Structure 1
């Protein structure tokens, strides 16, 4: 059995889990790509997670053919 670790999610906290297919773009450094994703997450409004995910996928340029698959999971602990 694996050990269980609990991490408290403070109100307003947002976590984004993603695969490299979301951020890797030929000709763009990995650090720049991660910084771009962080920027888009920081600019997220309270429009809902569906809109945020759509925005992140559009910003990643997912409308064309990609060499890698993309998985994206965003969790948001809304303010009570």
Structure 2
């Protein structure tokens, strides 16, 4: 898989037996700033059970909370979440990051789960 970033928080990778961690993807410029902008790419090998969670900062930003701490918390929630039902997993992540509070930004969340089938 090939990834590029326009400045979003790092995607979180989960591999069976290898743990869950933010994936280092060098950020490119914000979309729309430069028509001919180059975006660095990161390649990640797909293995059965691989899960990638991409999200916007609106999911994790809380006034007064360090962004790295929020990313670490989301990483922990993903590590503990049951992956047998992606709809339920997404609901769990949204709830764990503050579904009870007023959000100050839009939220986008995408979870990809590669089962190793073609």
TM-score range, shorter chain: 0.7 to 0.9
Could you list the runs of 4 or more consecutive aligned residues of structure 1 that deviate by over 3 angstroms after TM superposition? 5-8
Q: Name the structure where helix makes up a greater proportion of residues.
A: 1
Q: How many residue pairs align between the two structures? A: 78
TM-score where L is the length of structure 2: 0.58
Where structure 1 has 5 or more consecutive residues not aligned to the other structure, the ranges are none
Q: Which residue matches 1:32?
A: 69
Find the aligned partners of 1:26 and 1:50 in 2 and give their Cα distance.
28
2:103 to 60, 63, 66: 66
Find the aligned partners of 1:75 and 1:7 in 2 and give their Cα distance.
13
Find the aligned partners of 2:106 and 2:85 in 1 and give their Cα distance.
24
Q: Name the structure where strand makes up a greater proportion of residues.
A: 2
Q: Which residue matches 1:20?
A: 57
- CA shift, 1:79, in A, is 5.5
Q: Which structure is higher in RCO with an 8 Å CA cutoff and minimum separation 6?
A: 1
TM-score where L is the length of structure 1: 0.83
